Structure 1
């Protein structure tokens, strides 16, 4: 079993990657998606009334996608939550549940734990986890999959496709702007900070 991660600037590309992973035999219980909602593309009308049950289920390890209508595939189980330092996100799956940690109460609101810890606990190198977390903070979408050995090559090809972010190039870009590491206490990125690009790429 190996954890493989891809960062996407465009939600549509990320969701297509999720569908490709599922089509290639990766169970949706082993896939997670965390997408920035700083532009507000996903609104409260999409949240089921039992979001408290979803949070409790996630804290119990079921995964947000499993407890928020996830029977039809991971993407049917999207829920709105907040991750410290990242801000509002739309998420489903095991990584979101791990980032929530021992959250008790509504999914919408402050979440215990954190995305960097969730990634490193799953085997992602810490330096990479910081870049992935910052990428989501700045408007991106993260797809993470735990895959069996026989599916590693296919999963790496899917999450390393041309539409995904080149991690080293993105790290260099962040570093050149003075960034050194993801800060869980940083202010949320606003629509103005993310810019017009996020308004067009972060849509379902």
Structure 2
């Protein structure tokens, strides 16, 4: 039975590196998705094109990365089945956007809201559909890149007043320290 394994990262470069490692390990690009923003919360079409070009014309998932606007998050660079599902939800005016896409792939709503909020706050998410015989390899690659510790990050979000992802929220702006 196919399982979806997802990890979040503080920056898009780490997430892109994880995708490269997954593909080098033989994981099909059709089973991998990446969604993210750059670190300052501003993502634009030029960046999306630059990321796609930055892989040197390599085959695989990153060669097809593009720009997508997601409710409550704004523009993101994205590629893979997760991006297609989120784009379909947005285009069809379906409820849920990115959260709905994660739930559709087997994550519970709380996990899905955490992943969407992480992207909204400038992080990136890599999600992989995998068969049981490949789970250990996928998890080793995802965890080897030091993903965000979900429990700690959720506690941080909640300490700042967050209780769920709000697709009607404005752009995230970090507090001025």
**TM bucket, shorter chain:** 0.7 to 0.9
Unaligned runs of 5+ in 2: none
Q: Is the 8 A contact 1:82 1:89 kept in 2?
A: yes
Unaligned runs of 5+ in 1: 48-64, 197-204
Equivalents in 2 of 1:117, 1:104: separation in Å? 13
Q: What secondary structure is seen at the aligned counterpart in 1 of 2:144?
A: coil
How much has 1:39 moved relative to structure 2? 2.1
* Mapped pair 1:138 → 2:121: yes
Between 88-97 and 147-156, report the one with greater CA deviation: 147-156
- 4+ residue segments displaced more than 4 Å: 102-105, 110-113
Which residue does 2:46 correspond to in 1?
Answer: 43
Which residue does 1:79 correspond to in 2?
Answer: 66
How much has 1:24 moved relative to structure 2? 1.7
Q: Is the 8 A contact 1:36 1:87 kept in 2?
A: no
Which residue does 2:105 correspond to in 1?
Answer: 122
Map 1:1-204 → 2, pairs under 5 A: 1-37=2-38, 38-40=41-43, 43=46, 46=49, 72-101=59-88, 113-161=96-144, 163-189=146-172, 193-194=173-174
Equivalents in 2 of 1:9, 1:115: separation in Å? 18
Q: Deviations over 1:159-190 (max 9, x none)?
A: 2235210111111111111100000111122x
Change in CA separation of 1:102 and 1:87 when aligned onto 2, cut-off 3 Å: closer
Change in CA separation of 1:36 and 1:18 when aligned onto 2, cut-off 3 Å: same
How much has 1:40 moved relative to structure 2? 3.2
- TM-score, normalising length: structure 1: 0.74
- TM-score, normalising length: structure 2: 0.84
Number of residue equivalences: 168
Q: For the aligned residues, what is the CA RMSD?
A: 2.7
Equivalents in 2 of 1:141, 1:82: separation in Å? 15
Q: What secondary structure is seen at the aligned counterpart in 2 of 1:139?
A: coil
Q: Deviations over 1:85-107 (max 9, x none)?
A: 111100000001101115659xx
Equivalents in 1 of 2:110, 2:44: separation in Å? 29
